[in-house]
Amino acid sequence: MHIPMHVLLGEWRPQQTRKTGYLPTARPHLKETDYSTLIKPDTIIAWVDRKAYRVTEITERPVDLWPERFANEWKRYAAWWVEQVMAGRNMGEQPEKASWEHRPLALSIQPADQPNAKARHFAVRASRSFYVLPEHYSVCRLCNEIPPCTHVTTEASVEHAMENTERLMAIRPGCCLGCGEPVTSRMKAVRFPGPNLWRPDMGDDSAVFHARQDCSGSVSSYRQQWAQKGHDQLQPELPGGDA
Ligand SMILES: [Zn+2]
Ligand SMILES: [Zn+2]
């Protein structure tokens, strides 16, 4: 099964919709399209648990009933705003707590397949968006989640990681960690100094890739991990001169 990269990287997105729903207060003038819509009562959304919920109500929360983290965030924001003005920046009109774009709204939802269930209430940021599901949405037979379900993504990423490890372990020293083929002295190459993150057993300064389009995806993911490990003070050796 082909699993798209963003799924493997952890950002879940339902397979059956590309429609994003905005809370009406966030985008009052939004033009509805196949990709964006306003969330209103009866809209079906995919919640963070990958389940489908029907929106029953969206209401403002009185400012004195904001959950603490929102109130604290507002305080920090308001103080920052004043600081900017004091520093001489043109900040436009002074924001008001009651109409702040990141204020909490009360969103009430109920499981989409249980019309008699008691609604649950959440404080959600007015600026936040959700994936909107069609009336005839599908769910996984086993877990009732919106596909790809947690089970499938976990399986896919484990499988992906195993395949990748097997592929890497088969690469011989001096070969490209991207495609596994030899890097000869006549070829342009990108070499990373320091420990070899993908094949530590090969020793320091052994990470090498072809400097060609086909292997550039591997170079950038290696470079990313390498920077995360704090090795980016070492400069990778990029191809120079003629090959
Ligand atoms: Zn499932
Ligand atoms: Zn290569």
Count of CB atoms situated within 10 Å of the CB of 127: 15
**Å from CA of 226 to ligand 2 middle:** 18
* Within-domain flag for 173: no
* Within-domain flag for 184: no
* Within-domain flag for 31: yes
Q: What's the pLDDT score for residue 9? A: 46
Question: Which range marks the domain in which residue 23 is found?
Answer: 17-137
Q: Which helix (H) or strand (E) holds 56?
A: strand 52-60
* Within-domain flag for 150: no
* Within-domain flag for 82: yes
The answer on pLDDT for 150 being more than 90 is: no
From the CA of 151, which ligand is nearest? 1
Mean pLDDT of 177-182: 95
Mean pLDDT of 169-177: 95
- Quickly state the pLDDT bin for 242 (edges 50, 70, 90): very low
**Å from CA of 194 to ligand 1 middle:** 42
* Within-domain flag for 36: yes
- Residues within 5 Å of ion ligand 1, judged at the Cβ atom: 140, 142-143, 149, 151
**Å from CA of 106 to ligand 1 middle:** 30
From the CA of 143, which ligand is nearest? 1
Domain count, the chain: 1
**Å from CA of 147 to ligand 1 middle:** 7
* Within-domain flag for 215: no
* Within-domain flag for 144: no
Model's pTM, two decimal places?
0.63
pLDDT digits (tens, 9 = 90+) for 4-35: 444 444 578 899 998 999 998 767 788 888 89
